[in-house]
Structure 1
Amino acid sequence: MDYERQPYRRCGRSGLLLPAVSLGLWHNFGGGKPLDSQRTILHKALDLGITHFDIADRYGPPLGAAESTFGRIFPRSLRDEVVVTTKGSNPMWDGPYGMGNSRKHLLATLDRSLERLGLDFVDIFYLHRDDPGTPLEEQMATLDHMVRTGRVLYVGVSNFSPERTAQAARLLRELGTPLLVHQPSYSLLNRGIEDSLLGVLEEQGVGCVVYSPLAQGLLTDRYLDGIPADSRAAEGRFLTADRVTPEVLTFVRSLSALAEARGQTVAQLSLAWALRDPRITSVLVGASSPEQLEANVAAVDNLGFTHEELAAIERAAKESGVAA
C-alpha cells in the first residue's frame, strides 16, 4: 500500500484520517461482475493508498451483493489499515421492519451487513437518509447503541438537510457519540451543499465525504461529443439522457479546455475542484477498471487552483446556464 500516493485529511474534529480520493462500491461490485476483475480493482485501490471503502446494504444488484463481494475479496490481513463503511435505511426485505430508521430495522440490517462483509465491526455506519416517520431521538440513540456494543466505531448521516444534521449532531453529542461525517451529493453540476450544509458541518465539527463528484459520469470526457451508445445515459442507468443537455455539454467542453491547460482530464479537474474546499474530507469515485481508478486518483497531483482558474470555471458555469 502506497501511503505517499495521495494526501489524507482529518474527518471533522475527529482523529480519523481519510484519503482525498476514496473508492465507492455503488456501481461496479454487484452480481454479474467477474470476481477477478473486482479483486483487481480492489487491489489497485490499495496500491494507490485508498484506505477508505464506501458500501451500503442495498448496493448491488442484487441487494447486498456489494457487501458480499467485498467480504469475499478483501484481504483480512489489512483490516487494521482500512476504513470500511456501510449504510442502513433502505428497503431490504418485505414487511414493516424491512426499511427505515427504526431501532428494529437498523440493528437488524447492521447485523446482516456484518455477516455479508465477514467483519465483526464496521468503521463507519451511516443512516443513508432521514426517516421522518421515526423520531430523530430514536435514530440517534440507535447509532449510539451500535457504537457502545462494539459493532461500529463511528457514525454518520447521508442526505440529511442542514437543519436535521445540526439536530442530529446535537443529540449525538449529548449521548457521547459524536457525529463523525455527513455524506451528500456534490459536484460542479450540483452545488446545493454550499448554501448552508457545509457551514453547518464546519460549525458542528463534522467531516464531509461527497458522492457523485463526477455527476454520474457527466463530468468526464465521455460526453464531449454527445451520448455514446454504451454509456450510462444511453442505457438509463443512474443517469438519463435528458440530463445531457446542450447547456451541460457546453459547460463540460469549457471545462475540457481548462483541464487541458492544467494537464488534467475533465474528471481530474472536477475531483480537484471538489477537494479545493478544506471542509470536504474526501471524494468518492467508482471504477470499472484499475486504469480508470488510477486516472481518478491522479487528480491529487494538481489540487491547487489559481484565482483566475476558479473565476474561469464560475464564468463557464454562468455562461452555459448551469450555475448553481
Structure 2
Amino acid sequence: MSLRFFLGTASFQTTDTFPALDAYFDAGGRDIDTARVYGRSEEVIGAWMTERGNVGELRLLTKGGHPDTTTWASRLSRAEVLSDARTSVDLLGVDRVDSYLLHRDEPSRPVDDIAETLTALVADGITARVGVSNWSAPRVAALVEALGRIDGPSITWVSNYFGLAAAAGEPEFSGVETTGPDLFALAHELDLTLLAWSPQSSGYFAGRDDAGAGSFHTAENRRRREVLDQVAREHSVSPVALLARWLVTTDSRLVPVLGSTRPAHLAELIAATSAVSLDPAVATLEAELGAATRDPGAWTEAGTAA
C-alpha cells in the first residue's frame, strides 16, 4: 500500500529516529522529503537506508539553494545549487535523487537563468524531476515558459505552505509563500503536484500555543481550531486524525508533507490518511468552514491581533 503523503524529516537529526523511518516504510511509505538546510537529516536518512539495505527503494526529494541562514543572502547561482545538490546526493548515499527542488525564489533573478540551472541538474544525472519551493504562481508560470523555450525538464513539484490555519504576521522564516486558489488553478492547468509543507500548522491544531506556532495566533485561527475540535467530537475522532484526512482529500493536486519522529504519532497519521470512514467528518468540516478550507491566506500584517 502506497501512502498519499511525504514523510517530512526536518526533525530527523539522530539515529534515534530510525524507528519512525521504519514505521513509515513498513506501512508502505516510500516518499521522503528532506533538504540540504535540514541539519543532519540527509545524513541520517542515508545511514538508515544503508543499515536497512533499502537504498533504491525510496523516492527521495531534497532541496537546495536555500539562502544563507546568517545573512539571508540568496544562493541561487548555478554553482551554489549544483554544489548543494552534489553534497545532498553524497550524504544520502545514492547516485541521484528522484526529485530536486530549489528551496527559495530570488524574484530579481531572471527565470531563464534558473531554468538553465534546473536543466543542468537533470543533464548531470543528479535528479529525474525538478521543482521549486516557496514560489508565487506568476513566477512558477514564468519558469515553466522559460523551461519550454530551452527544451528543459518539466516542473513536477511546487512546495509552499498550506494548512487549515491562515498564516499571519511576520513568518518565522523569510521568503515563504502560501498555496492559494491561483496556484491550485495553475497546478490543474499545468499538471503540477503541490507539496504542502507544515500542513499541520506547526502543531497549532494539536493544541500547540508556543512560539513555534506563533504565526498562527489569530482570532480567525482560534475559530478554525474550535470548529475542528467540535466536528472531531461530534464524529468521535481525534482532531489530528481529522486534519490529516482533510489534508489528503482537499485537492487531487495536493500532497501534504507530514512529519513526526514518534512512531505512535506517525501510526495515527498513517491510519487517518487512508481512513475513508473519516470522510463524513471531513465533509462536515468543509461545510462549517467553507472557503477557509481552500485558501489559508498569505502571510500579511493583517489579522495578527490575538
Q: What's the TM-score, normalizing by structure 1?
A: 0.78
Assess if the C-alpha contact under 8 Å between 1:20 and 1:281 holds in 2.
no
Whole-angstrom CA distance in 2 between matches of 1:130 and 1:87:
12
Classify the secondary structure of the residue corresponding to 2:288. Answer: helix
1:1-324 equivalences under 5 Å are 3=1, 8=2, 19-26=3-10, 28-30=11-13, 33=14, 35=15, 37-60=16-39, 65-75=40-50, 77-91=53-67, 99-174=74-149, 175-190=151-166, 193-220=179-206, 222-223=207-208, 227=209, 233=210, 236=211, 238-240=212-214, 243-245=216-218, 247-300=220-273, 301-302=275-276, 304-305=279-280, 307-314=283-290, 324=297
Q: 1:173 to 1:205 in 2, by over 3 A?
A: farther
* Local SS of the residue matching 1:115: helix
Q: Could you tell me how far apart the structure 1 residues matched to 2:270 and 2:236 are?
A: 14
Amino acid at match of 1:147: V
AA in 2 matched with 1:272: R
Three-state SS of the structure 2 residue aligned to 1:78 is coil
Q: Say if 1:323 and 1:112 are closer, same or farther in 2 by CA, change over 3 A.
A: closer
Which is worse superposed, 103-112 or 188-197? 188-197
2:196 is aligned with what amino acid? V
Report the AA paired with residue 203 of structure 2: G
**Does the aligned pair in 1 maintain the 2:231–2:284 contact within 8 Å?**
no
Kindly state the Cα deviation for residue 262 of structure 1 after the two structures are TM-superposed. Answer: 3.3
Instruction: Measure how far apart 1:115 and its partner are.
Output: 1.6
In the alignment, the residues of structure 1 paired with residue 44 and residue 237 of structure 2 have an alpha-carbon distance, to the nearest angstrom, of 32
Structure 1 unmatched ranges of 5 or more: 9-18, 228-232
Letter in 2 for 1:138: D
Aligned residues of 2:155 and 2:192 also touching (Cα < 8 A): yes
Residues 201 and 208, structure 1, Cα contact 8 Å, conserved in 2: yes
| Cα drift, residue 281 of structure 1 | 3.8
Q: Cα gap change, 1:202/1:247 in structure 2, threshold over 3 Å: closer, same or farther?
A: closer
Counterpart CA distance in 1 for 2:38 and 2:285 is: 37
For 2:71 and 2:5, the matched residues in 1 are separated by: 38
| Cα distance between partner residues in 2 of 1:267 and 1:244 | 18
Counterparts of 2:69 and 2:180, CA distance in 1:
36
Question: Which letter maps to 1:239?
Answer: A
TM-score, normalised relative to structure 2: 0.82
Q: CA deviation at 1:244?
A: 3.2
**Would the alpha carbon gap of residues 151 and 24 (structure 1) be closer, same or farther in structure 2, given more than 3 Å must change?**
same
- Alpha-carbon distance in structure 1 between the residues aligned to 2:195 and 2:71: 32
Contact kept in structure 2, 1:123 and 1:152, CA below 8 Å: yes
Farther off after superposition, 287-296 or 78-87: 78-87
Task: For residue 51 of structure 1, report the CA deviation from its aligned partner.
Answer: 0.7
Gaps of at least 5 residues in structure 2 are 168-177, 298-306
Could you tell me how far apart the structure 1 residues matched to 2:296 and 2:37 are? 32
Provide closer, same or farther for how the CA distance between residues 166 and 249 of structure 1 changes in structure 2, counting only shifts above 3 A: same
**Between the two proteins, what is the percent identity of the paired residues?**
24
Q: 1:116 to 1:154 in 2, by over 3 A?
A: same
